[in-house]
A and B are shown apart, each in its own frame.
Chain A
Amino acid sequence: MTNHWVDIKNANLIVVMGGNAAEAHPVGFRWAIDAKINNKAKILVVDPRFTRSAAVADEHVRLRPGTDITFLNGVLNYLISNDKYQQEYVREYTNASFLVRDDFDFNDGLFSGWDESKKQYDKSSWNYQFDEDGYARRDPTLMHPRCVWNLLKKHVSRYTPEMVEQICGTPQADFLKACEMFAETAAPDKTMTSLYALGWTEHTVGAQNIRTMAIIQLILGNIGMPGGGINALRGHSNVQGLTDIGVMATALPGYLGLPNERHVDLQTYLNMSTPKMTGRGQVNYWGNYPKFFISLLKSFYGDKATPENEFGYHWLPKFQQMVDAMRFIEMTENGEINGFLVQGYNVVACMPNKHKSIRALSKLKFLVVIDPVASETANFWQNHDEFNDVKPEEIQTEVFNLPSSLFAEEDGSITNSGRWVQWHWEGAPPPGEGKTDSAIIAEIMMKIRELYEKEGGRLPEQILNMAWDYSKKKHPSSEEIIKEVNGKALADLYDGNGTLILKKGQQVSSFAQLRADGSTACGCWIYAGCWTEAGNQMARRDTADPSGLGNMPGWAWAWPVNRRILYNRASMDRNGKPWDPKRQLLHWDGAKWTGYDVPDFTAAPPGSEVNPFIMQQEGVGRLFALDKMAEGPFSEHYEPMESPIGTNPLHPNVVTSPTVRLFQRDAAELGNTEKFPYVGTTYRLTEHFHTLTKASELNAMTQPEAFAEISETLAAKLAIKSGDMIKVTSARGFVKVKAVVTKRVKQLMVNGQPTEVVGLPIHWGFKGATRKGFLTNVLTPSIGDSNTQTPEFKAFLVNVERVS
């Protein structure tokens, strides 16, 4: 979230699209209701289904799963052609005025640079025009035909209300009603907040869904504003934290990158990773990359990291290709993987195409599952009739099940969607012989070290040089670890004037204190400040709200540097006048910016040329994404890989995303409308959390058995009554579930054809306290977003039959 949960109360319009906040984040949604009651806000829900969010919304507008970009580009077209945007914000704070290279183009579904033989883009034309000093050219009048604004205007002009109706199945009147609601927040003193979640990410064009809304929020002037922002409602309780810590194939903590094969040495890595300033006089904060990275190496390798050995740079692995979850399963199925450690991740239940996951796990030599409860993943080799139709004797995988603690049985911090890092305390020990997750990792690590120390092996120093200076090596305490993450001075640190900032050994209080010379260590630069010399900032419990805007600066600690609203400098004009006096966060006190939040800015005074988006090379919000996205610098509608219309009305020659992540084997498991005429979409219900809560009887009671939701028209056509058992089939397999026939799912008219949507909640399986059932992910296709490799769970094709 650029903003945070309580801040939703400041919104005038709450758009719930690409998520279902009332069901998936009910307690966060209380602030949407608060806005409605106390701020006269409206709630707009755009969703294929009439959800529990829709039940309390002012408007619900339907669309077909997988067509969000069409809808949002349609909104952009409406806003631009009706002059409903915040002009000063667009001119000053976005790259609307930047000139784009003459060879950038978009034609018949493809951006310039497409190489059909390689199936990839040469992105060199997706860039600005630069002057002789290397700064981007601008035209603040927005008249130049090559400025971003005019290119954007042209790009979205194809998304007329008629086109929206044709692709999304949204009646024009409903669409226009939604557009008017968006348009109202173009006023500088009105804000809209966008609440989205996996309903946007879990598509082949997931990241572009979000980008399209980000463009809308930028032109409405809603980024950096209390009650505004682009707010990812993250899934799991610490998915934000684990992402921050970078436990991913090609990531390191703090959004630093794991070196790849082109990064042959430290200097090359730093040169390629550190962005150059492209706007005159701008901040380009990522220019500090070397400080963050060297401090990380010092945290990893301690005294072993020296300038002579490039701070241990070569002990980090360099990747050849990204082995993310989907590629990992693919490689496992290919027999290229031997071992797999799974920590609290129900792979069989959660990855797409369950049969593929089972085939893959069956090829492993060993599988280690670390989990507090029995999962389908640990038990994948068990036969559970048609729920899990496998032959144990044919599966040669050795499986270990290690009992871990859960939240109540450990101290530590987790990071919520609003970037609040909150400390929690242990209430009881785990049952039986269970151990905490950190103890389990540490004990495996110590055992491996023992073996390497005793027997030697391949590059033992990679293992032995990793710093492990915990007082109990087999049971590091959370306090010790998070202090290490926060970072400390390794020598006395002085500022430019020779004043002592920190003594050797003291905790740093901000990433601004980090150095690239090895005199500081920091495990995750954005977490610098979470545990300072003043103690554990994450455990703070001051509920005071001095601004009345809900920022609660004394509650827990938010990264970065306890900032509650990102880009908050953009809540004021260039001269420091707030766009809305009622939402004033910051002011200039004559020497610096100060106020109710930590300024996301430098000490540049009012009226300076320093732009507010200081993490960007040019300091402005990007309507044009340069080369950062796989599919193109603007967003374009591409059909889901399994499309119910089989064409793309915008450009029939390019139906689906040209850059989609699809492995050959999986391409053979795609279906078409002949056999699978209906659109399947999966989701969560309020009562359950994925497959975790099914272990709890209290939750099992409230939604005990798997079901699918279908419209009254489809039910009538197939002679299905509510409560009947139905069989839902895709090209990957089938599930049998109860039918819930409802008015909340409706037939849509798409491209002139009646189109049915089948809703498939995901909470049941062959383990747990609920009724035994099929895993819904039997049905879903193994296809990924080309930017994030997130699987497509939201739009695929199925058939439905009644089981007699």
Chain B
Amino acid sequence: MQVNRRQFFKICSGGMAGTTLAALGFSPSEALADVRAYKLLRAREVRNTCPYCSVGCGILMYSRSDESGNVKESIFHIEGDPDHPVSRGALCPKGAGLVGFVHSKDRLRYPEVREAGSKEWKRISWEEALERIARHIKEDRDANFVETNANGVTVNRFTTTGMFACTASTNEVGYLTQKFVRSLGMVSVDHVARI
């Protein structure tokens, strides 16, 4: 072990004040000490599945709540589910950092619109967002819907508005999306499978 120059300066400048105090007998020699309190003691534990890759590792999510009425639950720790036959409690660096995804600074908190040509987002209500989106879709469908093709075959399709679905969403969301797009006659549809 060498003491290099930087370390030595650290020792001198960073440390000497404290050291001197300690040396003069002000150190808390009889201070109480303890290991850090175990932080999951009464946290609520919920089982889930990692949303990143398709291994499907089991996770345990811990939130600070006993589900009493006055608390807004917030997940503060996530670790692997040891019962899970594939992952046996393990998580890769992505899964081990899930709590950072849940609390990402980039999370969206309310509906926004960016008007044509604008340089910024504008917060809007859900009601306004839904009204405007539904209106857009209806206008486009009513303008471009195709009932029959040139040969007179009934085709009932709507090509000019499309939808791409998410592959971290559940099977249930997938099925609802399937029903949604087909009920509009939409055929411009894909999901993330191809990439």
Q: Is A145 an interface residue (CB 8 A)?
A: no
Residues in A whose Cβ lies below 8 Å from that of B190: 247-249, 323-325, 328
A699 contacts B94, C-beta separation under 8 Å: yes
- B120-145 CB mask vs A (1 if < 8 Å, else 0) is 01000010011111111110111011
A481 to B171, CA, bound (A): 9
- Kindly identify which residue among B54, B144, B185 contacts A239, using a CB–CB cutoff of 8 Å: B54
> Contacts A239-B167, A339-B160, A433-B109: A324 and B194 contacting too (C-beta < 8 A)?
yes
> Contacts A248-B193, A261-B153: A236 and B183 contacting too (C-beta < 8 A)?
no
A687 to B83, CA, bound (A): 24
B53 contacts A320, C-beta separation under 8 Å: no
Q: What's the least CB distance linking B165 to chain A, in Å? A: 4
A345 to B77, CA, bound (A): 26
A626 to B2, CA, bound (A): 71
> Contacts A234-B54, A437-B169: A345 and B164 contacting too (C-beta < 8 A)?
yes
Residues in B whose Cβ lies below 8 Å from that of A410: 170
Residue of A nearest to B110 (CB): A433
Residues in B whose Cβ lies below 8 Å from that of A485: 171-172, 175
A238 contacts B108, C-beta separation under 8 Å: no
Q: Is B192 an interface residue (CB 8 A)?
A: yes
- Kindly identify which residue among B100, B144, B177, B195 contacts A343, using a CB–CB cutoff of 8 Å: B177
> Contacts A5-B55, A345-B164, A373-B106: A398 and B97 contacting too (C-beta < 8 A)?
no
- A153-176 CB mask vs B (1 if < 8 Å, else 0) is 000000000000000000000000
Q: Is B12 an interface residue (CB 8 A)?
A: no
Q: Is A87 an interface residue (CB 8 A)?
A: no
A337 contacts B188, C-beta separation under 8 Å: yes
Which residues 152-195 in B have Cβ within 8 Å of A in the complex?
A: 153-195
> Contacts A699-B93, A769-B104: A235 and B177 contacting too (C-beta < 8 A)?
no
B95 contacts A427, C-beta separation under 8 Å: no
Residues in B whose Cβ lies below 8 Å from that of A793: 195
Q: What's the least CB distance linking A447 to chain B, in Å? A: 4
Residues in B whose Cβ lies below 8 Å from that of A281: none
Q: Is A55 an interface residue (CB 8 A)?
A: no
A790 to B75, CA, bound (A): 37
> Contacts A397-B116, A478-B170: A323 and B159 contacting too (C-beta < 8 A)?
yes
Query: Size class of B's contact patch?
Result: 35 or more
Residue of B nearest to A236 (CB): B167
Which residues 357-379 in A have Cβ within 8 Å of B in the complex?
A: 365-366, 368, 370-374
Q: What's the least CB distance linking A436 to chain B, in Å? A: 8
A403 contacts B110, C-beta separation under 8 Å: yes
Q: Is B15 an interface residue (CB 8 A)?
A: no
B172 contacts A25, C-beta separation under 8 Å: no
B117 contacts A393, C-beta separation under 8 Å: yes
A235 contacts B176, C-beta separation under 8 Å: no
Q: Is B102 an interface residue (CB 8 A)?
A: yes
Residues in A whose Cβ lies below 8 Å from that of B134: 444, 447-448, 450-451
- A309-342 CB mask vs B (1 if < 8 Å, else 0) is 0000011111110011110100110001111111
A338 to B113, CA, bound (A): 17
- A417-459 CB mask vs B (1 if < 8 Å, else 0) is 1101110111111011111111001111101101110010111
A466 to B187, CA, bound (A): 16
Q: Is A61 an interface residue (CB 8 A)?
A: no
Q: What's the least CB distance linking B151 to chain A, in Å? A: 8
A698 to B91, CA, bound (A): 14
A248 to B95, CA, bound (A): 28
A459 contacts B185, C-beta separation under 8 Å: yes
A421 contacts B171, C-beta separation under 8 Å: yes
- Kindly identify which residue among B50, B72, B132 contacts A237, using a CB–CB cutoff of 8 Å: B50
Q: What's the least CB distance linking B65 to chain A, in Å? A: 8
B149 contacts A338, C-beta separation under 8 Å: no
A323 contacts B188, C-beta separation under 8 Å: yes
Q: What's the least CB distance linking A711 to chain B, in Å? A: 26
Interface-lining segment among A600-608, A688-696, A727-735:
A688-696
Q: Is B28 an interface residue (CB 8 A)?
A: no
Interface-lining segment among B16-24, B31-39, B41-49:
B41-49
> Contacts A338-B144, A441-B180, A447-B134: A693 and B170 contacting too (C-beta < 8 A)?
no
A252 contacts B183, C-beta separation under 8 Å: no
Residue with the highest number of chain B CB atoms closer than 10 Å, among A347, A394, A400: A400
- Kindly identify which residue among B78, B100, B107, B135 contacts A699, using a CB–CB cutoff of 8 Å: B100
A555 to B190, CA, bound (A): 31
- Kindly identify which residue among A28, A374, A687 contacts B55, using a CB–CB cutoff of 8 Å: A28
> Contacts A432-B109, A485-B175, A695-B101: A344 and B56 contacting too (C-beta < 8 A)?
no
A412 contacts B173, C-beta separation under 8 Å: yes
Residue of B nearest to A319 (CB): B187
Residue with the highest number of chain A CB atoms closer than 10 Å, among B51, B159, B171: B171
Which residues 493-535 in A have Cβ within 8 Å of B in the complex?
A: 523-524, 527
A238 contacts B171, C-beta separation under 8 Å: yes
Q: Is B5 an interface residue (CB 8 A)?
A: no
> Contacts A238-B169, A238-B170: A248 and B191 contacting too (C-beta < 8 A)?
yes
- A765-782 CB mask vs B (1 if < 8 Å, else 0) is 001110000000000000
Chain B interface SS verdict (over half): mixed
- Kindly identify which residue among B145, B163, B182 contacts A458, using a CB–CB cutoff of 8 Å: B145
- Kindly identify which residue among A24, A244, A318, A400 contacts B111, using a CB–CB cutoff of 8 Å: A400
Q: Is B29 an interface residue (CB 8 A)?
A: no
Q: Is B3 an interface residue (CB 8 A)?
A: no
B100 contacts A407, C-beta separation under 8 Å: no
Residue of A nearest to B105 (CB): A769
- Kindly identify which residue among B46, B53, B98, B169 contacts A344, using a CB–CB cutoff of 8 Å: B169
- Kindly identify which residue among A25, A317, A437 contacts B157, using a CB–CB cutoff of 8 Å: A317
B136 contacts A366, C-beta separation under 8 Å: yes
Q: Is A241 an interface residue (CB 8 A)?
A: yes
B46 contacts A425, C-beta separation under 8 Å: yes
Q: Is A482 an interface residue (CB 8 A)?
A: yes
B110 contacts A408, C-beta separation under 8 Å: no
B53 contacts A24, C-beta separation under 8 Å: yes
Residues in B whose Cβ lies below 8 Å from that of A629: none
Residues in A whose Cβ lies below 8 Å from that of B91: 27
Residues in B whose Cβ lies below 8 Å from that of A443: 126, 130
Q: Is B6 an interface residue (CB 8 A)?
A: no
Residues in B whose Cβ lies below 8 Å from that of A433: 109-111, 126
Q: Is A246 an interface residue (CB 8 A)?
A: yes
A343 contacts B166, C-beta separation under 8 Å: yes
A314 contacts B86, C-beta separation under 8 Å: no
A183 to B6, CA, bound (A): 58
B184 contacts A463, C-beta separation under 8 Å: yes
> Contacts A26-B92, A696-B97: A241 and B174 contacting too (C-beta < 8 A)?
yes
Residues in A whose Cβ lies below 8 Å from that of B151: 261
Q: What's the least CB distance linking B91 to chain A, in Å? A: 7
Which residues 687-726 in A have Cβ within 8 Å of B in the complex?
A: 687-689, 692-693, 695-699, 702
B195 contacts A247, C-beta separation under 8 Å: no
A365 to B181, CA, bound (A): 19
Q: What's the least CB distance linking A123 to chain B, in Å? A: 23
Residues in A whose Cβ lies below 8 Å from that of B117: 392-396
B85 contacts A6, C-beta separation under 8 Å: yes
- Kindly identify which residue among B54, B106, B114 contacts A768, using a CB–CB cutoff of 8 Å: B106
- Kindly identify which residue among B93, B111, B183, B184 contacts A401, using a CB–CB cutoff of 8 Å: B111
Q: Is A789 an interface residue (CB 8 A)?
A: yes
Q: Is A565 an interface residue (CB 8 A)?
A: no
List 21 A-B pairs, Cβ < 8 Å. Answer: A242-B174, A258-B182, A317-B156, A317-B158, A328-B190, A336-B159, A337-B188, A341-B161, A344-B168, A345-B191, A403-B108, A403-B111, A410-B170, A433-B110, A437-B170, A441-B180, A463-B184, A543-B85, A687-B93, A697-B104, A699-B101
Besides A253-B175, A400-B112, A414-B171, 16 other A-B contacts (C-beta < 8 A): A234-B53, A239-B167, A248-B190, A315-B183, A316-B156, A337-B188, A339-B140, A370-B166, A381-B114, A406-B168, A408-B75, A416-B49, A696-B97, A699-B94, A767-B106, A790-B195
Q: Which 10 A-B pairs have the closest CB atoms?
A: A432-B109, A344-B166, A416-B56, A412-B170, A696-B100, A339-B161, A698-B97, A403-B108, A698-B100, A466-B183
